[in-house]
Chains A and B, each alone.
Chain A
Amino acid sequence: MERTRAQKFWIYVGVCLVMLFTALPLLLLVTATFSSSGDLNAKTLHLWPSEWTLGNYSRVFSGEASDGSLPPFLTAMKNSVIVALSSTLLTLLIGMFAAYACARFRFRGRDTLLVSILGFRMVPEVVLLIPLYVIFARMGMINHKPALILIYTAFNLPYVIWMMQTYFRSIPRSMEESAQIDGVSPLGILFKFLLPLSLPGLVATGIFVLLIAWDEFMFASIFTSTYDAKTITVAISEFSKRGMIDFGMQITGGFLASLPPIALALFLQKYIISGLSEGSEKG
């Protein structure tokens, strides 16, 4: 669809507004990480650091870990990677089967089941804080990563089941039916036909779930007290001491902690939007 000159002008105005909306706070975030505490604590307008410094970065990476191997910040990053990745993989693995059951099998109460699965995502997490703490404490799982992995898996399963079954349903059944006649087992159909065809959906769902797991704070904060278990969100919140907030350190740690999810989100964007747009442009 061709646009007139005037329309094009307004589109570019709109694009500029979107860019400004997004970029301004981000710019302040990035420049703050390179600012000295003098600039950060100035009472006059500072949109640009008067001197560029890496002081915040060196403070973030300083400090000794309990076992002397990695500084606490990097240990927390490592913990977050382990927790978020494992829970994502686990969620995709078990959610995929459930989604397959809902998309391709008829059984009594299927629709009710789907709705109630989504209903579990609506429970305010805070209500589960104490029961889960008590249960995991009795099993000796506090301060151990599997506790958080399991919790995030349970919280994200509804999203995964719901999203994956939508992708599965959008794949036409005709091919499977002929395969079925050839005697391919239901699991074979899932792995040979459905999964390869819905790979973009699987990746998109996975990234979405990974971002949520990376983001979680309330449970991580109550469930982890040791270096070996604290995740990145907890580590960032701990950069503030009593009555003393080292903003430079907090924002720099935060910026570094945001890089992995940002990279993933950009990847997600390419996957979802460009994939879909290619399809629609061709069509």
Chain B
Amino acid sequence: MIKKLRPFGYLLPSFLVILSVTLLPLLYAIFISFINLTKNVHKLDNPKLWDYVGFENFAKVLSDSSFWQAVGRTMYFTVTSVGLEFALGMAFALILNEKFAGRGFVRGFMLIPWALPTIVNAVLWKWLYDPDHGTITVLLATLGITDGHFNILGSSFSAMNAIIIADVWKNTAFVTLILLAAMQSLPAEAYEAGKIDGASAFRRFFSITLPLLSPAILVALIMRTMEAFKVFDIIYIMTGGGPAGGTQVLSFLTYQTSMMFGKFSYGSSLAFVMSIFILIFAFIYIKILYKKAE
């Protein structure tokens, strides 16, 4: 009997922490999304004051145009940044997997952007894009690419892409790190066989290297997709959701609804609908992951 219970004993501390700091607050949030709660949670202490509205908040979320716009922006951010990070990360990993002088140094150096705190990265790029004296703004004007100083963070389209560039710069290194570690553990024969066959470099990459790397690719993609979909800090610092709401992604919309406008219930409902999107992503990835593992 004790033997059977042993694994649960080992799981208990983790379970308690997740229960108290994630699960209970989560249920709490679900609860307030079913009542109407704005600004003041003291109302919760008295059940008589609970203003039960059922799924009204969720219905409101689904018919809220600013929600769907935020979904669109979040998707754009996620797909573009993770896509670029993956493409660049794969290229970098392939290069760094070769033998060249100073390899150890380059591998380490390449990791530095990833180690920069997001806040610092945001401050750095916000300055590079500054409409008056940002290096990138001035450079673009000096090279004649823009007519005078163009305010990169001043229009929705350029602001969103500028944030993506900043995010890609930081997080490519993470993808590189995971892929490189996986490449190091690939058997050398995988490459040798291809060479004897006379397969071209490209075909060898797609038919041999890529399938062998697929578990690592999935890990990198899952982790980056989750984080990208929840992006908040970099937007908070760089644009605050502006200009004119042009970079208002889901996390920011939720934060703004709850913490700035004080609409706790509506904010929670927003977050739940957002979680469903993330779960769909996760489900697709995990399905693929399990298939590959078998």
Which A residues have a C-beta under 8 Å from some C-beta of B? Answer: 1, 3, 8, 11-12, 14-15, 17-19, 21-23, 25-26, 28-29, 32, 40-47, 94-95, 97-98, 100-102, 105, 107, 113, 115, 117-132, 134-135, 150-151, 153-155, 157-158, 161, 186, 211, 214-215, 217-218, 222, 232-233, 236-237, 247, 250-251, 254-255, 257-258, 261-262, 264-266, 268-270, 272-274, 276-277, 279-280, 283
Q: Is the CB of B98 within 8 A of A3?
A: yes
Interface residue from A25, A154, A222 paired with B18 (Cβ < 8 Å): A154
Is B169 close to A, CB under 8 A?
Answer: yes
Known contacts A41-B132, A119-B279; decide if A127 and B91 are in contact (CB<8 Å). Answer: no
Chain B contacts of A222 at CB under 8 A? Answer: 259
Given A154-B20, A247-B123, 19 other A-B contacts at CB below 8 A? A14-B91, A18-B95, A18-B110, A25-B125, A32-B127, A47-B135, A118-B282, A123-B275, A127-B267, A131-B24, A157-B18, A186-B6, A218-B233, A233-B119, A237-B119, A251-B127, A269-B108, A273-B181, A280-B184
Instruction: Give A125 to B230 CA distance when docked, in angstroms.
Output: 8
Residues 244 to 288 of chain B near chain A (Cβ within 8 Å): 250-251, 254-255, 258-259, 264, 267-268, 271-272, 274-275, 278-279, 282, 286
Is B82 in contact with chain A by the CB < 8 A criterion?
Answer: no
Among A18, A127, A161, A262, contact of B275 (Cβ-Cβ < 8 Å) = A127
Max chain B CB contacts within 10 Å: which of A23, A266, A270, A273? A273
**Contact B255–A129 (Cβ < 8 Å):** yes
A122 and B41 contacting across the interface, CB-CB below 8 Å: no
- Interface SS of chain B: helix
B254 pairs with A127, CB closer than 8 A: yes
A273 to B11, CA, bound (A): 31
Q: With the chains together, A204 CA to B229 CA distance in Å?
A: 25
* Cross-chain contact of B6 among A94, A105, A254, A258 (Cβ < 8 A): A105
Bound state CA distance, A51 and B122, in angstroms?
26
Cβ contacts B5-39/A at 8 Å (1 or 0 each)? 01110110111011011111110110010000000
Does chain A have a CB within 8 A of B218?
no
Residues on B with beta carbons closer than 8 Å to the beta carbon of A8: 100
Task: With a 10 A CB-CB cut-off, give which of B88, B96, B110, B184 has the most chain A CB atoms.
Answer: B184
Question: Given A98-B14, A135-B25, A157-B14, is A126 in contact with B279 using a C-beta cutoff of 8 Å?
Answer: no
B271 touches A105 (CB 8 A): no
In the bound complex, residues from chain B placing their C-beta under 8 Å from that of A153 are 17, 21
Are B7 and A101 closer than 8 Å at their CB atoms? yes
Q: Is the CB of B10 within 8 A of A97?
A: yes
B185 at the interface (CB under 8 A from A): yes
The digit string for B157-176, where 1 denotes a CB below 8 A from any CB of A, is 00000000000010011000
Q: Can you sample 30 A-B contacts with CB below 8 Å?
A: A1-B188, A12-B100, A15-B96, A29-B124, A42-B133, A43-B149, A94-B13, A94-B14, A94-B17, A100-B10, A101-B10, A120-B18, A122-B278, A122-B282, A124-B251, A130-B268, A131-B25, A150-B21, A154-B22, A157-B17, A222-B259, A236-B123, A247-B127, A251-B120, A251-B127, A257-B120, A258-B115, A258-B116, A266-B111, A272-B177
**A124/B128 in contact, CB under 8 A:** no
Q: Are A233 and B117 in contact (CB under 8 A)?
A: yes
Main secondary structure of the interface of A (DSSP, over half): helix
> Which residues of B sit under 8 angstroms from A105, Cβ to Cβ?
6-7, 10
Chain A contacts for B130, CB-based, 8 A: 247
With contact pairs A122-B282, A274-B104, A277-B184 given, residues A251 and B268 touching in the complex (Cβ less than 8 Å): no
A107 and B8: CB pair below 8 A?
yes
CA distance A101 to B117 in the complex (A): 33
Min CB distance A150 to B, Å, is 6
Given the known interface contacts A130-B267, A265-B115, A273-B180, the answer about A251 and B7 at a Cβ–Cβ threshold of 8 Å is no
Rounded to whole Å, the gap between the CB of A281 and the closest CB of chain B is 9
Task: Name B132-167 residues within 8 Å CB distance of A.
Answer: 132-133, 135, 138-139, 142, 149
The answer to whether B41 touches A130 (Cβ under 8 A) is yes
- Kindly list chain B residues whose C-beta atoms are within 8 Å of the C-beta of A117: 14, 18
A11 to B112, CA, bound (A): 21
Min distance, Cβ B91 to any Cβ of chain A, angstroms: 7
Partner of B226, one of A113, A121, A251: A121
Report B-chain residues with C-beta under 8 Å of the C-beta of A132: 21, 25
Determine which residue in A94, A126, A151 has the highest number of CB atoms from chain B within 10 A of its CB, and name it. A126
Which single residue of chain B is at the shortest CB-CB distance from A39? B133
